[in-house]
Amino acid sequence: MKELQNLVSLNDKKLLVVLPIKKVVDTFLNECAYSIAQQNQPIDLLVLYNGESEEELNSLKAILDKPSITVPDKAEDGSVQQKVIEAERKINYTVEKTGSYTFQQIFNEALNYAVINKYETFSVVESEDVIDVDWYKNALNYAAKKTDKDAFLPITREVSNGGFIGFFNEACWVDGYAEVAGVFDLQLLMRFNCANITGAVFRTKSIEEHSETVDGQLKVIKEGFKYSYSHEFFLRMIYDDLKFFTVPRLGYEHRIDIPIEIVDPFSSKIPRNITAWPEERGGMSPEEIKFWNEAARKEYFISRHDRPIKFEKKVVA
C-alpha cells in the first residue's frame, strides 16, 4: 500500500470508495461505474485490479472514463429499442494493482489505503452492484451528525438473477429486534446474520483502532476464515463496543446468484445454492457451512487474532 499520488481528492479526504476488479464484465461494470459517476457526492474511487491482461486493463479504464447504461426506449413507430445513456459526470479514479486474491484481503487492503491516505471514511463495493445516487451523500450527512457511530450501512435491495428477493441491513429497525432502533447489537446478530459489508461506510479511525498490525499491515477481517468472515467481523467490532448504524434510506443494490463458472473468493458473494456446487468449483457441504457459521459465533470473543482454524471432513468408516 502507498500514497495515492494520482488521485486528487474531490471530497477533502472524507470518503474513499474501493472497487476490486479481477475480471471485467462490461454490462455489470458499466452499471456499477455509472452509479458511481452519478453520485450526488464527490467520490474518490480506488480500483484494485487483480487481472493480468493489459487489454483487459485498457477495457476497464475505457469503461471508467465513460460509463453508460443501456435501457429500453420506445420509438415513434411503437417498437422498443435499446438506448445507451452515458453518465453526466466523470469518475475521479485511480487504478492500482493488487496481489490480494480474497475479499478478506481486499477489505484489509482498503483499510490500509484509507489510513495511509488519511481518509475519514472508506467503503468497499463490488462491480456487479449498483449504488443509489444519494447513498454516499446521505451516509456522510449522517456521519457528520452522529459522531458517536462508527459505521453507516445502507438499506440494501437483495437481487437474485434480476429478481428482487428482499431487503438487508434493515433488521435493526424492526420493532423489538434491536436494543436501540437502527443500531446493530450482539443479540440481534447472534440470531441473524443480517449485516452486509459491501456499500457500508466505515470510520477509518474506528476500524484502525480495532485492527491488528501483521507484518506492517493493518488487519481487521480474519483472512483465515473461508466463510462467514463478515459476520465474525461485525460480531467482534460490536463486542468491542463499536456502533454500526443503518441509515433509513435505500442505498445499495446487492446482486447475488449472478452467472459464474466458479465461486471465486475474490468476491464476498456466495451463491444461495452453494451446497449444490461441486467442491472443485468452490462448493461447500452443509457441514462446512455449519462449521464456519459456528466459528463466527465463537471466534469473535475467543480471539482477536486470526488464529488458524480449518474445517476437516469427517471420515465415515
Reply yes or no on whether the pLDDT at 82 is more than 70: yes
Phi-psi region of 150 (alpha: psi -120 to 50; beta: other; left: phi over 0): alpha
Contact 124/220 with Cβ under 8 angstroms?
no
The span from the CA of 138 to the CA of 181, in Å, is 18
Reply yes or no on whether the pLDDT at 9 is more than 80: yes
Q: Which three cell numbers stand for residue 27?
A: 454490462
The C-alpha cell 475467543 sits at 302
Confidence grade of residue 62 (pLDDT, cut at 50, 70, 90) = very high
DSSP H helical ranges for the chain: 26-37, 54-65, 103-116, 135-145, 186-191, 204-209, 229-239, 286-302
Confidence grade of residue 101 (pLDDT, cut at 50, 70, 90) = very high
What single string gives the DSSP state of each residue in 130-159?
A: EE-TTHHHHHHHHHHH-TT-SEEEEEEEEE
Contact 153/199 with Cβ under 8 angstroms?
yes
Please give the helix or strand (H or E) that residue 123 lies within, else none.
strand 121-124
Q: How far is CA 4 from the centre of its chain?
A: 21
| 71 vs 249, higher pLDDT | 249
All structural domains of the chain with their residue ranges: 15-71+85-302
Query: What is the helix, strand, coil percentage profile of the chain, to 5?
Result: 30, 25, 45
Q: What is the pLDDT of residue 258?
A: 87
Reply yes or no on whether the pLDDT at 211 is more than 70: yes
Contact 212/223 with Cβ under 8 angstroms?
no
Reply yes or no on whether the pLDDT at 69 is more than 60: yes
The span from the CA of 15 to the CA of 17, in Å, is 6
Percent of the chain with pLDDT over 70: 99
- CATH class of this structure's domain 15-71+85-302: alpha beta
Q: What is the dihedral of CA 22, 28, 30, 32, to 10 degrees?
A: -90
Phi, psi angles (nearest 5°) of residue 277:
-85, 145
Least confident range of 44-53, 168-177, 295-304: 295-304
The span from the CA of 281 to the CA of 273, in Å, is 13
Least confident range of 131-140, 242-251, 305-314: 305-314
Please give the helix or strand (H or E) that residue 243 lies within, else none.
none
**What is the average pLDDT score of the chain?**
94
Q: What is the pLDDT of residue 260?
A: 85
pLDDT in tens, 158-187: 999 889 999 999 999 999 999 999 999 999
Q: Can you tell me the mean pLDDT for 184-198?
A: 96
Q: Can you tell me the mean pLDDT for 297-311?
A: 88
Reply yes or no on whether the pLDDT at 306 is more than 90: no
Burial class (CB in 10 A: 0-12, 13-18, 19+), 123: buried
pLDDT in tens, 119-134: 999 999 999 999 999 9
Reply yes or no on whether the pLDDT at 79 is more than 70: yes
The span from the CA of 92 to the CA of 33, in Å, is 11
Q: Can you tell me the mean pLDDT for 18-45?
A: 96
Closest by CA to 136, choosing from 243, 281, 39, is: 39
Q: What is the pLDDT of residue 315?
A: 57
Reply yes or no on whether the pLDDT at 317 is more than 70: no
Reply yes or no on whether the pLDDT at 75 is more than 80: no
Q: How far is CA 120 from the centre of its chain?
A: 18
Q: Which residues make Cβ contacts (< 8 Å) with residue 314, sequence separation at least 6?
A: 287
Q: Can you tell me the mean pLDDT for 87-115?
A: 97
